[in-house]
Structure 1
Amino acid sequence: MADVPDELLPPYDGIKLHHVRVVKSERDAADALAALLSSDVLGFDTESKPTFAKGESSTGPHLVQLATDDAAYLFQIGPAPAIDVLREVLESALILKVGFGLTDDLRRLRSKLGIETANVLDLATALRRGERNTLGAKTAVARFFGQRLQKSKKITTTNWALPRLSEKQILYAADDAHVALRIYRRWRADS
């Protein structure tokens, strides 16, 4: 599939909205924790409000996404019950967390929330097959599924610190974590 131009590939059909849980309450947090702790591997990513001014520092992460095979859980960072769940899951050595380009995500989690992640696999590096450059989610989706992952710059650069995310933001964020898990599962099955 690597020699097929990206625009000729069928679109990647991502996670559906009814499989996404935005964790807002104590009950949501408890349900998310139970589902996440029962998984061997989770898809993982974060989103931060973009910075546009020179010298401006990011105050992210503003959103942390974790995905099981069946659902994606979105944790908005703020006055919510999310931090304890995130700490327990992200610091667990028993659960593998997989995602793309995680260096900045891990650094921000450590500096903003004091979370020391454990057992994390950055697929951007792990999936390289002798290539010099890291591999992104778009390339991995084309390689493993023969599909085109659409990543909208318009959504990427939206304000992830908003108290209420749009449906497009929710789906974009959920897909980032869920697609990483799906790619990891396919990669391991093919190995």
Structure 2
Amino acid sequence: MTPDQEELLPPYDGIKLHDVRMVRSERDAAEALAALLASDALGFDTESKPTFAKGEVSTGPHLVQLATDDAAYLFQIGASPSVDVLRAVLESHAILKVGFGLTDDVRRLRSKLGIDANNVLDLSTALRRGERNTLGAKTAVARFFGQRLQKSKKITTTNWALPRLTEKQILYAADDAHVALRVYRRWRQDS
């Protein structure tokens, strides 16, 4: 499908704000851990504050997103309960973590937090079907749902290290993880 054809598709109706959980307290962390450990598969992504200067090294990830079928959990790095929950979930061999373009995410988690993610499936390569290039979330949503996933460059390049994220940032980040799980479920159902 060409980009022009994708533009004609109806918009993808993503996760709703009331289904997004910001993990900020010990209680939030305990609830997130219980929900995430109860899942067989999770959508997974990270966001990092962008770098603009030549030679500037990223200090990310600043946000880690994990999604179940029903909710997305957003962990701002720096909040105390986050790392323990992330380690328990991401290092689990029992839970499959799926997302798009995860090589850098996994490397940064290991480098910054000492988390070695296990049982990770990068849909960018898994869904290629013999094509040379990797497949992104936008193309996957068009292929599997006949819808157009809108990815705003303006949101992508915002400061993910801010202590308070905007509603648009929260929805964008939650959708990145949630849509990966939805695509994975549809792919498995169709195969």
TM range (shorter): over 0.9
Which has the larger displacement, 107-116 or 2-11? 2-11
> How many angstroms apart in 2 are the aligned matches of 1:113 and 1:49?
16
Q: Which runs of 5+ in 2 are unaligned?
A: none
Aligned residue identity for 1:173:
A
Matched residue, 2:137: 137
Alignment of 1:39-78 (within 5 A): 39-78=39-78
- Per the TM alignment, residue 170 of structure 1 is displaced from its structure 2 partner at its CA by 0.1
Matched residue, 1:189: 189
- Per the TM alignment, residue 6 of structure 1 is displaced from its structure 2 partner at its CA by 1.2
Q: Aligned pair 1:122/2:117, yes or no?
A: no
Matched residue, 2:18: 18
Aligned-partner SS, 2:80: coil
- Per the TM alignment, residue 7 of structure 1 is displaced from its structure 2 partner at its CA by 1.1
CA contact (8 A) 2:45 2:176 kept: yes
> How many angstroms apart in 2 are the aligned matches of 1:112 and 1:122?
20
Name the TM-score, length of structure 1 as normaliser: 0.98
Superposition misfits of 4+ residues, deviation over 4 angstroms? none
Q: How many residues align?
A: 190
> How many angstroms apart in 2 are the aligned matches of 1:155 and 1:167?
11
- Per the TM alignment, residue 161 of structure 1 is displaced from its structure 2 partner at its CA by 0.2
CA contact (8 A) 2:24 2:79 kept: no
Taking structure 1 as reference, are residues 79 and 71 closer, same or farther at Cα in structure 2, changes over 3 Å only? closer
Aligned residue identity for 1:183:
V
CA contact (8 A) 2:12 2:149 kept: yes
Aligned-partner SS, 1:5: helix
Q: For residues 36-95 of structure 1, give each alpha carbon's deviation from its aligned partner in whole angstroms, at most 9, with x where no partner exists.
A: 000000000000000000000000000000000000000000032100000000000000
- Per the TM alignment, residue 145 of structure 1 is displaced from its structure 2 partner at its CA by 0.2
> How many angstroms apart in 2 are the aligned matches of 1:171 and 1:180?
14
Q: Which runs of 5+ in 1 are unaligned?
A: none
Determine what percentage of the aligned residue pairs are the same residue. Answer: 86
> How many angstroms apart in 1 are the aligned matches of 2:8 and 2:128?
23
Aligned-partner SS, 1:169: helix
Aligned residue identity for 2:139:
T
Aligned residue identity for 1:155:
I
Matched residue, 1:86: 86
Matched residue, 2:179: 179
Q: For residues 137-190 of structure 1, give each alpha carbon's deviation from its aligned partner in whole angstroms, at most 9, with x where no partner exists.
A: 000000000000000000000000000000000000000000000000000000
> How many angstroms apart in 1 are the aligned matches of 2:102 and 2:186?
20
Aligned-partner SS, 1:43: strand
- Per the TM alignment, residue 28 of structure 1 is displaced from its structure 2 partner at its CA by 0.1
Aligned-partner SS, 2:18: helix
Q: Aligned pair 1:159/2:159, yes or no?
A: yes
